[in-house]
Structures are given as C-alpha cells and as structure tokens.
C-alpha cells in the first residue's frame, strides 16, 4: 500500500482487512510504502492484536515520488526480500475495500494462482465532472494506444510475476499499464469502488493528468508509430490538396484571384510541419528503445531511507 500521511486510514483499513480475510485462512504481511509523508508513522499505530495480519512494515522513501513509483519500489523490495504466494496492491485510504480484496483472492485461487486479477470498476463514487473527464481520457488513451482503460492499481498477482516486473522499466511510470505491456496473463472482475475512510484526497487536477500521461507513456512506441502514420497521412492529404488547388487554378475558372497562392502556401507549410513531426517521432522512438531508464530491481534502493517494523514491534 502506498500512502502519504494517511496513517489513520491505513490503520483502520488494515483492521478491516484482518477481519475480512479470516474466512480465507490467509496469513498477511503488509508493506506500507511511506511516500514522503510529512508526519511519520505514530508509534501507537498498528498496535494489534490481529488475527490474519502477522506483520506490518513501513518502507520510508527519501522523497515524495507519487503512488505509481511508490508501488514500483514496493514491488521491487518484496521481490528482493520476501517470499510469498500472492501479492496484493491496493490504496491505503479505503477506496479499495477489504471485501473487494477477498473477492480478488477468491478469483485468484479459482484461476489456479497463475493469473493476475484486477478490479474493474463497476461503480465509481466520484463527481460527474470527474467521470466526464475520465471518459474523455479513456477515449484518448484508446485512440493513442489501442488499449482500453478499465482498471486501476487494485489487484492481486502471483509472486513469481515480480521477477518480470522487477526488470520492467515501464513499472516506474504506471503499474497497471506495465502489467498489460509485459504480456503477463491477467483477468478482471467487477468491484465497486469504496469511499475514503477519512480525510480528503490530495490528488489534484495536475496530478491526475500526469497520472494519465504516465499510463500512455508506457506505450510510447505504439503512440509514436500511430502519430507517425497520422502525420504521414496528413501530409499526404495536404499534398493532394496542393495538387487540387493547382488544378483548379490552371484548368478552371473557379479560382478567386490570389486564393490559389494563399491556400497552396498554407498547405505546403502544413505538409512540411507534418513531415518534420513524423521525423521527430521516428527519432524519439529509436532513441527510447536504446534507453533502459529506471530498472526497479537495480535502482529501487536509492530511494529507500529506512525500513521500520511497526507490528509486531
């Protein structure tokens, strides 16, 4: 669970999870990734006792990185230091519910424990304005990447998947998109989104836009190729337009004086700009393929300041 100053939410959520998972006979260890909290975890938090939760560990980061990168560091840390059957990724504010976690674990077991299971949001609790912009984002994401946005972070996955994710640089930008990009098998089940246990979300409009762009960036080569094709098609249409304008000017009496020169000049400018854009996208794709970027298994420890066992003490 990544969190920033949501200690009271995390404490209550863990207690609810402890009660909810008793029916599954699971033993749970919780990794809280402290994403640059201003207020450190109170020593009185997570006092227990718990029935299913055997350990709560706080992974303190040196700076605020955002919840996607906090998830990447948490998964890399688990892959390097722990051995378990299944890893669950969820928010610590209560919007990812304990009941939803139980359903994910049950579906995971029914699939033999070999497929990652994501929560597809069947009902959202946000405002109409948020949902409007979210639908716009989904349309843009599908247009640029060919992938439909249906899931968030809330998921469970086999521990062995971390071996792949730990060397996947795309994980640094967006967890769910990295799973899709990795071609690891995954499934989805509809789960309604809950409400925050307390307080208000600190994610503003800029952070949400950045989050959306991060998901798209995981498919950067696909987006680049699609933009190259669009630019070349656009430049081709501009070229056809130039030919049509010249033909109208030379072979008909339909052209208004000065009109042909003005339109042809604008079309030439548009065509040149599109060709330059296509060339830029091409060089960007080629350069990005040669750049490894952030490798979680190699680089995650750079951002870890401290590891604290909060329960048991």
User: Tell me, what's the pLDDT at 30?
Assistant: 95
| pLDDT, tens digit, 9 for 90 and up, residues 155-185 | 999 999 999 999 998 899 899 999 998 999 9
Give φ, ψ of 166 to 5 degrees.
-65, -20
Tell me the residue ranges of DSSP E strands in 132-204. 151-158, 186-191
Q: Tell me the average pLDDT of the chain.
A: 86
Burial tier of 274 (Cβ tally within 10 Å: 0-12, 13-18, 19+): buried
Q: May I ask the CATH class of domain 2-220+295-311?
A: alpha beta
Task: Give the pLDDT band (50/70/90) at residue 29.
Answer: very high
Task: Give the pLDDT band (50/70/90) at residue 221.
Answer: confident
- Domain ranges for the chain, please list them: 2-220+295-311, 221-289
User: Tell me, what's the pLDDT at 158?
Assistant: 96
| pLDDT, tens digit, 9 for 90 and up, residues 51-76 | 899 999 999 999 999 889 999 999 99
| pLDDT, tens digit, 9 for 90 and up, residues 34-56 | 998 888 776 566 877 888 999 99
Q: How does DSSP assign 52-120, residue by residue?
A: SEEEEEEEEESS---HHHHHHHHHHHHHHH---SEEEE--SSSSS-HHHHHHHHHHHHHTTT-SEEEEE
Write down the pTM of the prediction. Answer: 0.83
User: Tell me, what's the pLDDT at 18?
Assistant: 93
Q: What is the DSSP letter of 32?
A: E
């Amino acid at each position: 669970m990544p969190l920033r100053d949501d200690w009271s939410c995390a404490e209550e959520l863990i207690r609810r999870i402890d009660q909810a998972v008793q029916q599954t006979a699971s033993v749970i260890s919780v990794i809280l990734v402290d994403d640059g909290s201003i207020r450190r975890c109170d020593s009185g938090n997570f006092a227990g006792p718990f029935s299913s939760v055997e350990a709560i560990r706080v992974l303190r980061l040196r700076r605020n990185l955002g919840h996607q990168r906090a998830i990447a560091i948490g998964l890399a840390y688990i892959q390097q230091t722990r051995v378990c059957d299944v890893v669950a990724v969820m928010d610590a504010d209560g919007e990812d519910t304990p009941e939803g976690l139980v359903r994910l674990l049950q579906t995971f077991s029914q699939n033999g424990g070999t497929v990652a299971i994501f929560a597809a949001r069947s009902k959202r609790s946000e405002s109409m304005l948020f949902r409007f912009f979210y639908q716009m984002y989904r349309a843009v994401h599908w247009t640029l990447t060919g992938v439909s946005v249906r899931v968030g972070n809330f998921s469970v996955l086999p521990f062995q998947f971390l071996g792949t994710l730990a060397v996947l640089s795309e994980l640094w930008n967006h967890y769910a998109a990295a799973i899709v990009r990795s071609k690891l098998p995954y499934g989805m089940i509809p789960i309604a989104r809950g409400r925050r246990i307390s307080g208000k979300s600190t994610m503003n409009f800029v952070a949400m836009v950045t989050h959306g762009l991060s998901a798209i960036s995981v498919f950067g080569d696909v987006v680049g190729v699609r933009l190259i094709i669009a630019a070349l098609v656009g430049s081709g249409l501009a070229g056809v337009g130039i030919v049509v304008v010249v033909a109208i000017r030379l072979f008909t009496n339909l052209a208004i004086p000065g009109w042909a020169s003005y339109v042809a000049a604008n079309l030439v400018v548009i065509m040149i700009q599109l060709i330059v854009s296509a060339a830029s996208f091409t060089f960007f794709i080629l350069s990005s393929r040669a750049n490894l970027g952030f490798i979680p298994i190699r680089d995650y420890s750079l951002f870890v300041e401290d590891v604290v066992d909060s329960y048991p003490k």
